Structure 1
């Protein structure tokens, strides 16, 4: 990679577009079904993005797991608009600039083997810039609208995601899901589709968004100067925004981040950037974004309905 990074965020306004009776299936190609409400899906890490193999609309290939995206996104390079759908070109707000030429599809039903998801909007966007930077074919992005009805265990130790179906209160439909023991948990707030957690840098209170699609953490460059003392810059990188436009940012490592007395982090790769547009778009006031670096240090379970994160310890590997 050319020292370019792609931190994927998407803010889309749902507009219903009426489809025909066509019912496209979505299948995680290499999924292992644990029980009728739980599946384990292996993933690849490509330039600090979580990538799974999916079959959708008779195509099979790479989809990025991105909690920072509100919807299921299809790459217009691979999924062309058809007469079966009405579509309008729209502009959507991205984090660093405007995303242009967004088409929408209304999917009546998505089927994940025994799981059924109904009435989902899929946004169709040109993602060719991601493919060019990552040097892989990307069919699309799986976001909040697909993930919200599951408890999601992101396990960087085994490189797999466990999805287990939950009821309206966030309770698992099956209790026999994890062989591991949950050792800690924290609450979070959900702002639209963004997970917001309270944290500390040294002894300063901060608010972070949590996003699986962020390759590097982001720290608001307008943050308190005492907090910036714990950001150690090292080099300049080019960040590719949601529309493919580039922005230079300062990259380094962020120290002394913790969620509570027992959940803390080693130095994390972080970029210093302006979060003004994101905060304006989401109506938030975030001090930063925690992404891949967070999940690399914490085996994390996300429960959207309970608005809780659960943590499982990494095993101690003896030499």
Structure 2
């Protein structure tokens, strides 16, 4: 049976050569918060599976998607309307190795809630190239290179985000779920976990992917062969949509139920996962929305508080 998965996977690999990578890494480390000893809370909307928050730039409010799986992005239209100057360019690639040359700009001040983030590098992107972005009517993406300069408490039950620079300002229970975060280029976070006892590294923590858990295709097939996954279904799919468009070729995919996923100090039972040929691995929003999620780049920890009124995907 053939089906199309319309979820979006937004990790951009900024590659080409060592010079390009070094320049990109330098720009994407820039930025800070203007305030110190701050805590503020703001509401967010969930639209078509993405977190949309209001931001303020030059005293005007815009709609941005909150996405840990990409650097900060602004639309071409927003960059033009605010007369944002390009400071450099780099070749950027999406999950399917489809690339464009992107110009960099710098957002001098972007206010999220009551917190001012200053000196944030952002890629200028053509959102009209993919129909889904145009339909969401958004002006940009808050990416990990901005988020790494604060602590983010995302409460899906209350639909609100608390931003702070001190985790002790958050009301956290003692019995929370905790896992180590590994921080990559542009502040992109990833985790390791065990799936049916097999450790798998570098799962991106990607709030810009509106699916759940994506398991590496080779690992999924290996566990089938070893009899570790018995409840699964094989299909053909048109693939996940990348930031630069949709793949036209079909590919093999699986959906299955994993007996045990060890996430830091917690074991998840009977969790549904997806696996697609040539696609790597992800922990996406459909998994995290069952929890209150605390992301702390300083301590390199992700903490989860289970929402008792929901069940896993």
Are 2:258 and 1:255 aligned? yes
Give the secondary structure class of the aligned counterpart of 1:305. coil
Q: Which residue of structure 1 lines up, in the alignment, with residue 200 of structure 2?
A: 206
* RMSD (Å) for aligned C-alpha atoms: 3.2
1:205 & 1:90 partners in 2: Cα distance? 34
Q: Which residue of structure 2 lines up, in the alignment, with residue 38 of structure 1?
A: 39
Give the secondary structure class of the aligned counterpart of 1:67. coil
Q: Which residue of structure 2 lines up, in the alignment, with residue 169 of structure 1?
A: none
2:5 & 2:177 partners in 1: Cα distance? 36
CA contact (8 A) 2:154 2:162 kept: yes
- How far apart are 1:237 and its partner, in Å? 4.1
* TM-score after normalising by structure 1: 0.74
Cα deviation per residue 1:92-132 (whole Å; 9 max; x = unaligned)? 12221233141221233444465333322111110124454
In structure 1, runs of 5+ residues without a counterpart are 18-25, 27-34, 167-171, 276-286
Are 2:171 and 1:178 aligned? yes
CA contact (8 A) 2:155 2:292 kept: yes
What pairs up with 1:4-153 in 2 under 5 angstroms? 4-12=6-14, 13=21, 14=23, 37-57=38-58, 59-69=60-70, 71-80=71-80, 85-86=85-86, 90-112=90-112, 114-132=114-132, 135-153=135-153
- How far apart are 1:301 and its partner, in Å? 1.0
Against the structure 1 CA distance between its residues 41 and 5, is the aligned structure 2 distance closer, same or farther, given a 3 Å change threshold? Answer: same
2:208 & 2:84 partners in 1: Cα distance? 31
Cα deviation per residue 1:243-294 (whole Å; 9 max; x = unaligned)? 124254535245232315634154335241424xxxxxxxxxxx62111132
Q: Which residue of structure 1 lines up, in the alignment, with residue 215 of structure 2?
A: 219
CA contact (8 A) 1:89 1:101 kept: yes
1:139 & 1:94 partners in 2: Cα distance? 19
1:109 & 1:87 partners in 2: Cα distance? 16
Cα deviation per residue 1:163-184 (whole Å; 9 max; x = unaligned)? 1124xxxxx3xx3322655523
In structure 2, runs of 5+ residues without a counterpart are 15-20, 28-32
* TM-score after normalising by structure 2: 0.76
- The structure with the greater share of residues assigned to helix is 2
Cα deviation per residue 1:130-169 (whole Å; 9 max; x = unaligned)? 4546722011110112111211122222222221124xxx
